[in-house]
Amino acid sequence: MASGEQTSTEYINHHLTNLTFGRFPDGSWGFATSKNIEELGFMAIHVDSMIWSMGLAALFLFLFHRVAVKATTDVPTGFQNFVEMIVEFIDGQVKETFHGQTKMVAPLALTIFCWVFLMNLMDLVPVDLVPWLISLLGVGYHKIVPTTDPNVTMGMAFSVFALMIFYSFKVKGVGFIKELTLQPFTFKNPFVQVLIIPFNFLLEIVSLIAKPFSLGLRLFGNMYAGEMIFILISLLYTGGLILGLMGGVLQFGWAVFHILVVTLQAFIFMVLTCVYMSMAHEDH
């Protein structure tokens, strides 16, 4: 918490700084501090984001694999019912938004929804709890919400984008190039159509490139804003009993509302992935 040893600004900056590992200009490797974090440059790794994102992915795989192995047609357990409900919900959404033939999209949508939901859910953990526990081990910085790191959200977005480009060429072949160069403006005169190709390509390529940025930045922006609000509310605990009680009420209210945000952002990321994959399979 912010105290006489730490101002409010320092407290906020501390909670929004990742545990970063990389190579310094002198050639040495190590973890950055607040004073030299910018020296690591572009190739630095956010260790906390990597640990939590991969750990939550492993948790998702473990839980669903456990249910799949122990699934029974007799009286199912409550958790099996819960997993089956999620699978049926995702399957229904995929059937509504995806109109291709590949069997890869449904598992992809299920993985994305559950993985993003678990990463978003970490935002409901008290903001000071894990950083305080980690500080006991001598670690100065630690963020437990991977989706507040643009490297994570944009990494997932560009992975979806790469799949979209791959299937666009696989399904459409040369037709995908035609979509980028012969639309949206079309003319019957071949000579005019050739002249208009650069303008068509400019419009289409901007629209294409915007997809991964809108996908990744939407998730990052919403989760980052939610985390910031939790941090700002926690500052009220340093203002005395009255403000502390007010902070507790506000934090509980925001946490309840944030459950909707956490779920909705995972759902939007999943639906947009299905839409983009459907676009890759639709041949004009």
Respond yes or no: is residue 151 known to be catalytic: no
Name the β-bridge partners of 46: 20
Per annotation, catalytic residue among 36, 81, 207, 214: 214
Q: How far is CA 158 from CA 116, 151, 177, 214, 262, in A?
A: 15, 10, 20, 11, 21
**Cα 144 vs. chain centroid, distance in angstroms?**
13
Q: Give the residue carrying structure tokens 């934090």.
A: 251
| Interior/surface letters 116-142, b for 16+ CB within 10 angstroms, e for the rest | bbbbbbbbeeebbebbeebeeeeeebb
Phi and psi (nearest 5°) for 41? 75, -160
First to last CA, the chain: 57
* Residues written for the chain: 284
Q: How many C-beta atoms lie closer than 10 Å to residue 194's C-beta? A: 12
Respond yes or no: is residue 168 known to be catalytic: no
Do 126 and 177 touch, CB atoms closer than 8 A?
no
Phi and psi (nearest 5°) for 34? -65, -20
Residues 44 and 30: their CA atoms lie apart, in Å, by 10
The answer for residues whose C-beta is within 8 angstroms of residue 159's C-beta and 6 or more apart is: none
Per annotation, catalytic residue among 18, 200, 222, 234: 222
Respond yes or no: is residue 214 known to be catalytic: yes
Per annotation, catalytic residue among 151, 218, 234, 278: 218
DSSP notation for 138-198: T-------GGGSHHHHHHHHHHHHHHHHHHHHHHHTHHHHHHHHS-S---SSHHHHHHTHH
Active site residues: 214, 218, 222
